Amino acid sequence: MTRRALSLVSALGLAVLVLGPALAPGYVLLYDMVFVPRQDLLPASIGLGGQLPRAVPQDAVLAALTTLAPGSVWQHLALLGAVAGGALGAARLLRGAGAAARAAAAVLFVWSAFFAERLLLGSWSLLVAVAVLPWALSAAIDARRALPGAAARLILLVGLASLTPTGGILACLLAGPVALGPGSRLGRARRAWTALALVALQLPWLVPSLLHPAAGASDPNGLKAFALRAEGPWGALVTALGTGGVWNGEVVLGSRSTFLAPLAAVLLTVLVVLGAPALVRHLGRAAALWLVVCAVAGIVVAVAGAWGPTRPLVLAAVDALPGGGLLRDGQKWLAPWTLLVAVAAPLGLGRIAERSRDATVRATLAVGLVLLPMATMPDLVWGGLGRMQTTSYPDDWAEVRTVLEADAAGGDVAVLPWSAFRAFAWNGGRTSLDPAPRYLPRPTVVDDTLLVARPDGTVLRVSGEDPRAAVVGAALDAGRPLAQTLPALGVRYVVVELTTPGPDVGSALDGLTPVVRGSTLELWSVPGTVAPPTGPSARDLVLVVLAWVAAGLVLITAGLQVGRAYTGGRRRDPGLATLRAVDQSKENT
């Protein structure tokens, strides 16, 4: 077996060990991770719905992909790609190091608190983007040396990371300055094109964000709710150094509260410091230093949002900057630090091992670093000890979808119970976002407020942005039947999801007509005349379509350039490896 094949098999084996039951047939419905058999292209899919475009462009991409295969296929591929691809990418950055260092980098990257907590929170698109980061940094290093096709390869990788807004920002910030900054061998025109391309890839979510009525507005409770959460009495900084601290305490593994977690965080931080000089030799001075800068900046942002004296500064940035709400969730900005730990810690241990002449001692240290993440966080194995179980949608869901597809009359759908999350009995009681907005073929009105329990026992209410949801919520709070409220909002149907906790429906259905009465789902129609739903303005639609066209043209052009680079003999050029080594040696000196 070749080295490349062995690396792939090992990465896939690691992914199976981490994901476990999530790879069984069916769907993993867990917090933010909601896939459906067939997802339709709706206004919200391109950022023109009632809420801010947090799931753009991923929902539009899935709408296209689920025309080719069911959503469960793409969910499995996304999860495998995130874990196995991340492991391979981290190992790739240490191409010149030994096999033990590459193996340690792979395990440290994906068997980390960051990956564990984001996986159990269901942030699949963010994990795909984070898995792309080492590949994007490698492509940026090649682009900096003006290797054929490298800049176009970087654009394609950033396009993949840009499935989610945070992922696009992370990839651009980490890889863009390396490829285009001072010392880059790319020509001026190529640098300008690459910079414009990276910006264009963010337009599908950036343009609708700026057009949304809630642009620039943010509930102050959002920062408190989503700030980095200290895992144990050692505080926010040590938690951040250990790459943990996700806002939702329910997804945090039990091992994160043991004394091994802070010990491992401190140990790995020391190894990162020791490995920094060697990292310069492997990545080049510009890439290594910029990775350190991004990692430290990420820690500062994460801790600043959690620390009382600096929290007002972060809140001011959240309020003042368009899209500043992206800063609320501090822990996700630890992605560069997670990558730095993965690639620098093995090199730091290598410096220590070099002091010993005993091969057994060196081998023991190497194996110990590979096993350290598993030893300190054993409860990540097999999908967090079985948390990531799959399920199937009951037949009632397909029946309701069929009825809505067959009705030629317009009108949107309101969904009850009025709460953002579900815990269906048919999903084993696991918490997940409401699947209806993605499963149903019409725009939906759902509760977009969020209740977050904080460590001090308080519950914070984070307001939503959809004005129609606010009207429906007020009607339900007042005990008014929805038949009096929905027609003016352009809502023709009400879906009631059964076997899940939530506020009592009460008299909300009075005056509605039952259409489907299943054991897990009900569909009710609003009698009489329903106003046409208010769609996006022509101006907004044109601007968003242009943003998508620009991003699409960039990806197509980059793909053609990569194809030409490979078919032009790039892989067959025997001097390429030598050129890369000479360039790196010159940069390091």
190-205 tens-digit pLDDT: 999 999 999 999 999 9
Reply yes or no on whether the pLDDT at 259 is more than 70. Answer: yes
Instruction: Confirm if 462 and 225 have CB atoms less than 8 A apart.
Output: yes
Q: What is the distance of C-alpha 286 from the center of its chain?
A: 27
pLDDT for the residue 336: 98
pLDDT for the residue 575: 44
pLDDT digits (tens, 9 = 90+) for 357-411: 888 998 999 999 999 999 999 999 999 999 999 999 999 999 999 999 999 888 9
For residue 447, the tally of other CB atoms under 10 A from its CB is 23
pLDDT for the residue 571: 47
pLDDT band at 585 (very low <50, low <70, confident <90, very high): low
Who has greater pLDDT, 300 or 458? 300
pLDDT digits (tens, 9 = 90+) for 492-527: 999 999 999 999 998 999 999 999 999 999 999 999
Q: How far apart are CA 91 and CA 84, in angstroms?
A: 11
For residue 172, the tally of other CB atoms under 10 A from its CB is 19
pLDDT for the residue 224: 77
Lowest pLDDT segment from 319-323, 536-540, 544-548: 319-323
Burial class (CB in 10 A: 0-12, 13-18, 19+), 221: middle
Instruction: Confirm if 387 and 30 have CB atoms less than 8 A apart.
Output: yes
Strands 412-416 and 491-497: parallel
DSSP 25: S
pLDDT band at 51 (very low <50, low <70, confident <90, very high): confident
Which residues have C-beta within 8 Å of that of residue 151, sequence separation ≥ 6? 139, 143, 179, 186, 190, 193, 194, 561
Backbone dihedral region for residue 521 (phi beyond 0: left; psi -120 to 50: alpha; all else: beta): beta
Q: How far apart are CA 46 and CA 242, in angstroms?
A: 36
Q: How far apart are CA 22 and CA 32, in angstroms?
A: 15
Question: Among 35, 77, 41, 47, which Cα is nearest to 60's?
Answer: 41
Q: How far apart are CA 533 and CA 544, in angstroms?
A: 19
pLDDT for the residue 577: 47
Reply yes or no on whether the pLDDT at 123 is more than 60. Answer: yes
Q: What SS3 class is residue 550?
A: helix
Reply yes or no on whether the pLDDT at 419 is more than 70. Answer: yes
- What average pLDDT does this structure show over 555-563? 97
- What average pLDDT does this structure show over 44-52? 92
pLDDT for the residue 589: 44
pLDDT for the residue 323: 63
Reply yes or no on whether the pLDDT at 581 is more than 60. Answer: no
pLDDT for the residue 573: 46
Lowest pLDDT segment from 177-181, 209-213, 424-428, 525-529: 209-213
pLDDT mean across residues, the chain: 92
pLDDT digits (tens, 9 = 90+) for 345-366: 999 999 999 888 888 998 999 9
Lowest pLDDT segment from 99-113, 189-203, 297-311: 297-311
Instruction: Confirm if 113 and 18 have CB atoms less than 8 A apart.
Output: no
Reply yes or no on whether the pLDDT at 38 is more than 90. Answer: yes
Full DSSP string of 382-433: HHHHHTS--B---HHHHHHHHHHHH--S--EEEEESSSSEE--GGGTT--EE
pTM listed for this prediction: 0.95
pLDDT for the residue 306: 87
Reply yes or no on whether the pLDDT at 320 is more than 90. Answer: no
Reply yes or no on whether the pLDDT at 231 is more than 80. Answer: yes
pLDDT for the residue 37: 98
Give backbone dihedrals phi and psi of 177, rounded to 5 degrees, phi first: -65, -30
